[in-house]
Chains A and B, each alone.
Chain A
Amino acid sequence: MLTYLIRRILYVIPICLGVTVLVFGLVHLAPGDPLSAVVPPDAPEEMVQELRVAYGFDKPLPIQYATWLGRVLTGDLGVSVARGREVTSELALAVPNTLILAVGGTLLGFTLGAFFGGVAGYFQGRWIDKLATGIAITGVSVPHYWLGLVLVIIFSVEMNVLPAIGMGPNGSSTWVWDTEHMKHLVLPIITLSVIPMGIITRTVRATVAEILNQEFVQALHAKGLLNHQVLMHVVTNAAPTTLAVMGIQLGYLLGGSILVETVFQWPGTGSLLNSAIFERDIPLLQGTILVLAMFFVFLNLLVDLVQSAIDPRMVR
């Protein structure tokens, strides 16, 4: 157990290094050096050269990577070219906003998915199973950015009961727990919840069906346990898998919220990415991608650790 834990934790280190290489390499995927996008084409050659030296783009790539990594390790992600502010302080504003959306979407998706999946697995083959399975496959097939738009049309344009865009009144970009902000949260969270809902429904259905086919369930019935007592056993056995899937889904929503944030103009990491891409703001782009990927890596680690703690079969 302990060796598994240590191995799993140590394995994060090469992954993180790989992630930094990839994030650093991304910038150099684009043709020309990173400056060519920022500097106007008619800029004098000496000035471009001067900037290149100032930013260190004249040095070989491995050295550039090493200096960049050194700064990243001390928590310095550079200064946003377009906004003129520290990337870390931009992220400090944006990450909590995305976190609210992602956590809300996951919780809603989990609640619905666990319910639908449980019912479907329990009543396998009946019409109610087919209904739940249908809802699940719709959830994973629907382009959620379009669903967001449809929700806006229904609830904002036609019925005019919920706000269409933004996080709060007057373009607020800091979260406050009041009714106005909560109203802005409703549509994005419903939109984000459909994919986890679909995936968790499928997982829970398969897991519950598998557990119900095992002999120990028959043994429990034979022992004289009541239906709801047997159900408790099924729930505890289905929990590890379901929680693991939920954790991964949270990571996906955190990293993939850019589409929904664009639809609802939510001031989170997705909007940050969006503007970084179109303003060719390299430090902001690198920093945001790096932080989101790191969140995902550590969430995966957490899921593995929690899962191995509650389900000893996982440790091999």
Chain B
Amino acid sequence: MSTSPLDPRQQATVDVVQVAVQSRGYWATVLGRILYDKVTMICGLILLLIILSTVFADWITFTDPYKANMLKRLKPIGTPGYPLGGDEMGRDMLTRLLYGGRLSLFMGIAPVVLALGIGGLLGLTAGFLGGRINMLIMRIMDVFYAFPSVLLAVAISGALGAGIFNAIVSLTLVFIPPITRVTESVTTQIRNLDYIEAARASGAGTFAIIRVHVLSNVLGPVFIYATSLISVCIILASGLSFLGLGTEPPEPEWGLMLNTLRQSIYVNPEVATLPGLMIFITSLTFNLLSDGLRSAMDIRYVRGTS
């Protein structure tokens, strides 16, 4: 398409064509794109499989994840009854990996959801109100930005002590500043657009403007950003457990399992790598899924001229 301005009559025909193309609506278009995106679909399926098999671990495993058996210590992969071998206490690896996924996934997702709620609210407030309140909120966030994320997570959980709850608190605090910053910048951009002015001129109240006009436009980008954080959060949460700051033994959790099996790399290296492999696969699928979602929801391509 040429860049020169079209005359009004041509403009009208172009509009009609665009309406015809877009009549499916935004969300239908997004869904249609995702269904056509092989990588995203495969990742979604793998992730669904991981989530379902960890959630329903009670039904698909037959052994107790806590029951030790000294005779089966560090059995190799493929031992009868121990399809993925035994860990350093002779517990079935497959069972523990499935049960362990519950905590790893929970600790990877919960902090991001919490941070999305708190940081989203802070960013929305700062972006919409602007002025002094914006200054105050964003400068406090800048202080948190002075810490690399791993350092901040380790510092807060180190100070609070080990435990699942403390790890979730520290990871939530790690993710609030970036989510606040993204929400704030998107909100500020939208707040200054003409149509907000128009809505106000036609009598819309502040909350109606936020709810209808701001939120519906902010939610998309912020949501996509948050999904990309889940993969980071899974790695960080398992990292905290790996350091001994998250979950405590004998609870099955991938990071902690990686830590306790670390002593066994000379005896049975294959089994020792399994929990880390699970963290890797989960984080990779979350990352690819988030990328797929990003390109499916990108409005710029909806009106693509190609």
Contact = CB atoms under 8 A, between A and B. Distances in A.
Given A142-B280, A146-B273, A259-B150, A137 B143 contact: no
Given A149-B273, A273-B154, A137 B284 contact: yes
Contact of A259 (B139, B160, B243, B277): B243
A296 B243 contact: no
B245 interface: yes
A146 B279 contact: yes
Interface residues of B, number: 44
B239 A289 contact: no
A274 B243 contact: yes
A205 to B, nearest CB: 13
B144 interface: yes
Main secondary structure of the interface of B (DSSP, over half): helix
A224 B138 CA distance: 49
Contacts of A137: 284, 287-288, 291
B298 to A, nearest CB: 13
A226 to B, nearest CB: 29
A259 B239 contact: yes
B143 A15 contact: yes
Q: How large is the interface on A (under 10, 10 to 19, 20 to 34, 35 or more residues)?
A: 35 or more
A149 B276 CA distance: 9
Main secondary structure of the interface of A (DSSP, over half): helix
A158 interface: yes
Contacts of B277: 146
Contact of A140 (B140, B245, B287): B287
Contacts of B283: 141-143
A255 B150 contact: yes
Interface of A: 14-16, 18-19, 21-23, 26-27, 29-30, 137-138, 140-143, 145-147, 149-150, 152-153, 157-158, 251-252, 254-256, 258-259, 262-263, 273-274, 276-278, 285, 289, 292-293, 296-297, 300
Interface of B: 139-140, 142-144, 146-151, 154-156, 158-161, 231, 235, 238-239, 242-245, 258, 262, 265-266, 269, 272-273, 275-277, 279-280, 283-284, 286-288, 291
24 contacts: A19-B146, A22-B143, A23-B155, A26-B155, A29-B159, A29-B160, A141-B286, A143-B276, A143-B280, A145-B239, A145-B242, A145-B276, A149-B258, A149-B262, A152-B265, A157-B266, A255-B151, A258-B151, A273-B154, A277-B158, A278-B244, A285-B158, A289-B155, A297-B146
